[in-house]
Amino acid sequence: MAAELTAHELITKHRPTLDQALEAIRTRAYWSPHPEHPKAYGENGSLDMAAGKAAFDALSGTRLDLGQPGTDGWVGGEVSPYGIELGVEYPHADVDVLLPAMRAGQKAWRDAGAEVRAVVCLEILGRISDRTHEFAHAVMHTSGQAFMMAFQAGGPHAQDRGLEAVAYAYVEQVRTPDTAEWTKPQGKRDPLALTKQFTPVPRGIALLIGCNTFPTWNGYPGLFASLATGNAVLVKPHPRAVLPLALTVQVARQVLTEAGFDPNLVALAAERPGEGIAKTLATRPEIRIIDYTGSTAFGDWLEANARQAQVYTEKAGVNTVLVDSAANYKGMLANLAFSLSLYSGQMCTTPQNLLIPRDGIRTDEGPKTFDEVVADLAHAVDGLLGDDARANALLGAIVNPDVKSRLEAAAGLGEVALASREITNPEFPGAVVRSPVIVKLDGAKPDDEAAYMSECFGPVSFAVAVDSTADGVELLRRTVREKGAMTVGAYTTNEEVEQSVQEVCLEEAAQLSLNLTGGVYVNQTAAFSDFHGSGGNPAANAALCDGAFVANRFRVIEVRREA
């Protein structure tokens, strides 16, 4: 079958973007080819706001038939955190049929080489980008993110992370040349001469285990890193967030087919309620790579049990912000208020513990007591979320009942400095919308330690009184070392404090944001520039994205012969 998309066409179309991505990961300056503004879509084949919404609505009541081998039934039943039923059915796979079928196309995919694989991946990302408005609704109605966040984080930012992974994968594979002539002098005798061929080969089939809250943003790096390095990829979405990854698989299969490759290089493994297929899949001998975002318990299980695979995990952590002093007190409060509120704190990067000296802090507005700082922060959150429309646009919906239970229980852990507020969403009356709770704890009270030394995922923050900044630095160290952290924040005007916080972050391998008071927040990382996680503390064994994230997804095989 002749490919509709030739390698030459794809290289011509996408190589300039790939080159820009390669330059961006080298300089780590700002760059993105994926527009962040909803109105930027609608030209050149992309869906505009109305068309994207219509495409999403049209999915309801349909069966997403991916044409996968071994489909033995249909599963569905996703209910949006906004209360509506998605009404989409997905193929259920007999993996004994599907996995062998996924291997059939691997030789051609391997032989295509790193550049062709990269541009095919870029074409997949391009098609996804064109449907960003449709994906935005799919992400919104599975994760509970508010529309703008679902649009940006689930759309262009996720696509950026996918492209970043493709760029890393490409550059890693071309570090070794395709061929080398090796000539070793032998004094007066003839030199020894060999011709060597080097071929990047995949490890096998990769398994992506998707998460509920960021199905595309957390899923694309692993998916595209594995695919770009020659592996087939089986996508096992979270049962409550199937649609965004199922659409992704659909696009990938379409592009692979058009480019003359086997569509089964990317396949979906949706599951029946309670089926729990992740454990079964993760230990299949065909699965040689696993990417996972989710609970520490299951991440640890994967690392311990999926021994036949390279396992990349992002698990839970306890994120800390140390407040020592502030040069811009209002800016700090506004920045923190936004960080705590965004997506109801349901980000792996949301600060949980705010460590504040019990004797108060110095600020540009004069000294502030511990209670004043906490009250002012509570006030800032209240102000930010005072208007219901704005609150809905920032908070989104509570993703599942467990988060709601934890939020409710948190109020019993200490003195509530800011109560969580129930907010009505007029557009989606079924949505559970809650503002964050801030609870005061005491770092010197052993009884409080169980609370602040555990991850309480959701809109729950603890204002922890510490005896001094130095004590706070040590608690920060202990928290990162024992519990892990995706992010650390600190506010200080003191050079020594800054140095000591930096030193803790360097020694315990945590990513640090210092004195953020403007429009960048500790819980946001930008592809091509910021590392997401460090891969060096218990919160995650990998970072998005670096050489280590891609280098072991393939191996280089050498064939040498006499020249």
Q: Which is nearer to a second copy, 74 or 198 (CB)?
A: 198
Q: Per-residue DSSP letters for 479-526?
A: HHHHH--S-EEEE-S-HHHHHHHHHHHHHHT--EEES--SS--TT---
Q: Per-residue DSSP letters for 539-561?
A: TBSS-BTSHHHHHTSEEEEEEEE
Please classify residue 388 by burial: count the beta carbons closer than 10 Å to its beta carbon, then call 0-12 exposed, 13-18 middle and 19+ buried. middle
Q: Is 50 in the site for a second copy (CB under 8 A)?
A: no
Distance CA 462, CA 414 (A): 9
Q: Which is nearer to a second copy, 340 or 545 (CB)?
A: 545
Size of site (CB under 8 A) for a second copy: 67
Secondary element (H or E) of residue 295: none
**Identity of the residue numbered 53:** K
Q: Which of residues 409-448 bind a second copy (CB under 8 A)?
A: none
Distance CA 288, CA 299 (A): 16
CA nearest to 95, candidates 317, 269, 313, 223: 269
Q: Smallest gap, in angstroms, from Cβ of residue 111 to a second copy? A: 9
Q: Smallest gap, in angstroms, from Cβ of residue 495 to a second copy? A: 13
Q: Smallest gap, in angstroms, from Cβ of residue 188 to a second copy? A: 12
Q: Which of 2, 304, 401, 422 binds a second copy (CB under 8 A)?
A: 304
Q: Which is nearer to a second copy, 86 or 118 (CB)?
A: 118
Q: Which is nearer to a second copy, 30 or 446 (CB)?
A: 30
Q: Which is nearer to a second copy, 182 or 454 (CB)?
A: 182
Cβ atoms of residues 470 and 322 within 8 Å: no
Q: Is 21 in the site for a second copy (CB under 8 A)?
A: no
Q: Which of 12, 19, 26, 415 binds a second copy (CB under 8 A)?
A: 26
Q: Which is nearer to a second copy, 173 or 257 (CB)?
A: 173
Distance CA 12, CA 17 (A): 10
Cβ atoms of residues 179 and 560 within 8 Å: no
The first and second tokens of residue 398, run together, are: 């509570």
Cβ atoms of residues 128 and 251 within 8 Å: yes
Q: Which is nearer to a second copy, 318 or 332 (CB)?
A: 332
CB atoms within 10 A of CB 20: 15
Q: Which of 198, 277, 375, 449 binds a second copy (CB under 8 A)?
A: 198
CA nearest to 545, candidates 294, 268, 221: 221
Print the binding letters for residues 107-146 with a second copy: x by CB under 8 A, - otherwise.
Answer: x--x------------------------------------
Options 6-14, 264-272, 387-395, 532-540: segment touching a second copy (CB under 8 A): 532-540
Which residues lie below 8 Å from residue 297, measured CB to CB, with a gap of 6+?
Answer: none
Terminal C-alpha separation, the chain: 37
Options 79-87, 397-405, 459-467, 528-536: segment touching a second copy (CB under 8 A): 528-536
The first and second tokens of residue 121, run together, are: 């991946």
Cβ atoms of residues 434 and 341 within 8 Å: no
Cβ atoms of residues 435 and 395 within 8 Å: yes
Task: Report H helices in 105-146.
Answer: 106-130, 132-143
Options 183-191, 273-281, 415-423, 456-464: segment touching a second copy (CB under 8 A): 183-191
Options 76-84, 188-196, 273-281, 402-410: segment touching a second copy (CB under 8 A): 188-196
Q: Is 183 in the site for a second copy (CB under 8 A)?
A: yes
Q: Which is nearer to a second copy, 58 or 520 (CB)?
A: 520
Q: Which of 172, 286, 376, 455 binds a second copy (CB under 8 A)?
A: 172
Q: Smallest gap, in angstroms, from Cβ of residue 280 to a second copy? A: 21
Distance CA 377, CA 335 (A): 10
Options 48-56, 262-270, 378-386, 524-532: segment touching a second copy (CB under 8 A): 524-532
Q: Is 556 in the site for a second copy (CB under 8 A)?
A: yes
Distance CA 187, CA 184 (A): 9
Distance CA 97, CA 92 (A): 12
Q: Which of residues 478-517 bind a second copy (CB under 8 A)?
A: 502-503, 505-507, 509-517
Q: Which is nearer to a second copy, 218 or 525 (CB)?
A: 525
Q: Is 536 in the site for a second copy (CB under 8 A)?
A: yes
Q: Which is nearer to a second copy, 451 or 510 (CB)?
A: 510
Q: Smallest gap, in angstroms, from Cβ of residue 515 to a second copy? A: 6
- Given the rule CB under 8 A, which residues bind a second copy? 25-30, 107, 110, 172, 175-177, 180-186, 192, 194, 196, 198-199, 201, 203, 303-304, 307, 502-503, 505-507, 509-520, 526, 529-531, 534-536, 543, 546-548, 551-552, 555-562
